[in-house]
Amino acid sequence: MLGNMTLMEYLSGGRAVAGHRPWPRYVLDERGWLDLIQQLTVCDWTLLGLWADGNEVNAALRDEENAAIAVVSLGCQDRRFPSLAEVRPAAARLERSIRDLFGLIPEGLADSRPWLDHGRWPLSTPLAIVRGVPPMGPVVYPFLPVEGESLHQIAVGPVHAGVIEPGHFRFTCAGETVVRLEERLGYTHKGVESHMAGKTLAEAARLAGRISGDSTVAYAIAFARAAEAATGTEAPPRAHWMRALMAELERLANHILDFGAICNDAAFSFMLAQCTVLREQILAANALCFGHRLLMDKVIPGGVCVDVTREGTVTLRGLVKELRKRTRRLGNLYDDMPSLQDRTVGTGILHAALAHRFGAGGVVGRAASQAGDARKVPGYPPYDDLDFEVPVHPEGDVNARIWQRLDEIQVSLGLVEQILERMPGGPLHKPIPTRGGEGMALVEGFRGDILMWLRLSEVGRVVRCHPRDPSWFQWPLLEAAIEGNIVADFPLCNKSFNCSYSGVDL
């Protein structure tokens, strides 16, 4: 039955699970899963996420033709499931994580090395129905062999030189040129998914806001929306607008800092200093208007727990005006500096086809022609009521990722203004009924689309929660983008991707 058909047509004959919202979930048998793998070779269905739940594996897919979204599930026979990595390479690290955490074996996955499990935890397969025995001790991680003349290796991390998150980078170089970069992550693994289980919604929401602290608002919205979907609740209109207000402030703070930090990695520290000042103005305004500099715990399931006062509105309007003026000025300055662009133009090119293959979203994807933005597709309130464009750049280099951020800064400033102008009145919160169900959400953080999947028990506790950070589909692309560049340009490339460590280590 291979052929061009839509995702929904393909799944229509399958068994749909009741109570999975807002998108359907279909249970496949092993035959069906193998058929799906065949189908994926010919259809433009993007893998949005892949996670296990007990003995089941779930894959979320989006049909790029019509934006339909569905989850497909397979109950594993003998704790094995056919790997999707051959047809969707973005699945590889997710499958290695499933093997580490659940003990479910992805059959056909070429890479047999562990990913999150470094052999140090007091147990193995911590999320499996039957937990594994303690490991034998730290694993010696076999990096991929590289053969050739006069190659040398540079090992960096997990403790880096700057104030950044920990991870290991293994460079193989020919002279100054990087022949291969291999990432090894997992150092910040905190057992978030296992820790979520059994928590109340309020406790779990707090945790969700700490999966990647720089995206706390986006994660909290994703969790809240998943909880609301699972229980069939709709947050009040004003809550949606308040969420978007805080989400855009978070995006602004991060994009501005990233822009400065990328320039700083090309030794132009003036830009970082300027951007840090601007960012500080946002964080100070956050503290003043909402009571927390990073806006942690302000979005809760059912709504929000802060309001914006009249003085707050005035403060934020002033902030937007100031930011618009000064970010434009800094953008012009960047545009005016050939010596800086000499470092960024043509550096770390990510090809559009590869970005598409991995389903990369966010700045990384959009700076390589991928137009995806969860605020538009699938879309969620209040963005369907707001007037904004999603900028895209085709070049895929560091320069494009800088302009992508600069353009998105202007879009977000416009959004904040619209939101302040048109914010509806009414309540800020609606209680979440105590009931079971399954919910999923896609929310656009500053790095890209965050997927949150949640299953609640009848008494309203978390049974299973899986957060999928956008960086899962961006980290592997960094390995490709750096190839053929010089080692000295790695910080520049890395910063222009700015992937989350904590978000993917979980």
Residues making contact with ligand SF4 (CB under 6 A)? 210, 213
The whole-angstrom separation of Cα 504 and Cα 473 is 10
The reply to whether 464 sits near another protein by the rule CB under 8 A is: no
Helix axes 269-290, 237-265, angle to 10 degrees: 160
The reply to whether 190 sits near another protein by the rule CB under 8 A is: yes
Smaller CB distance to ligand SF4: residue 213 or 291?
Answer: 213
Residue found by looking up tokens 């806006």 in the block: 295
Residues 6+ apart with CB under 8 A from 230: 21, 436, 437, 438, 439, 454, 455, 456
> 3-state class of 182 per DSSP?
strand
Query: How many CB atoms are closer than 10 A to CB 9?
Result: 12
- Residue 352: contacted member of ligand SF4, another protein, none (CB under 5 to 8 Å, by partner type): none
Query: How many CB atoms are closer than 10 A to CB 447?
Result: 27
By CB under 8 A, name the one of 8, 105, 333, 345 that touches another protein: 333
| Stretch of 213-221, 302-310, 362-370, 424-432 lying at the interface with another protein (CB under 8 A) | 213-221
By CB under 8 A, name the one of 6, 55, 281, 313 that touches another protein: 281
Smaller CB distance to another protein: residue 206 or 324?
Answer: 206
Helix axes 237-265, 310-335, angle to 10 degrees: 30
By CB under 8 A, name the one of 6, 276, 410, 457 that touches another protein: 276
Smaller CB distance to another protein: residue 265 or 505?
Answer: 505
| Stretch of 140-148, 286-294, 366-374, 410-418 lying at the interface with another protein (CB under 8 A) | 286-294
Nearest Cα to 186, choosing from 282, 99, 107? 99
- Residue 126: contacted member of another protein, ligand SF4, none (CB under 5 to 8 Å, by partner type): another protein
On whether the CB atoms of residues 25 and 336 are closer than 8 A, the answer is no
The reply to whether 270 sits near another protein by the rule CB under 8 A is: yes
The reply to whether 161 sits near another protein by the rule CB under 8 A is: yes
Smaller CB distance to another protein: residue 37 or 164?
Answer: 164
Q: What is the CA radius of gyration of the chain?
A: 22
Residues 6+ apart with CB under 8 A from 416: 245, 248, 249, 252, 316, 320
Across-strand partners of 54? none
Smaller CB distance to another protein: residue 143 or 187?
Answer: 187
The whole-angstrom separation of Cα 385 and Cα 408 is 18
Smaller CB distance to ligand SF4: residue 188 or 327?
Answer: 188
Smaller CB distance to ligand SF4: residue 210 or 356?
Answer: 210
Tell me how far, at minimum, the Cβ of 173 lies from another protein, in Å.
21
Residue ranges in contact with another protein by CB under 8 A:
118, 120-123, 126, 138, 158-159, 161-166, 186-192, 194-195, 203, 206-207, 210-214, 216, 257, 270, 272-273, 276-277, 279-281, 283-285, 287-288, 293-294, 296, 315, 318, 329, 332-333, 336-337, 500-502, 505
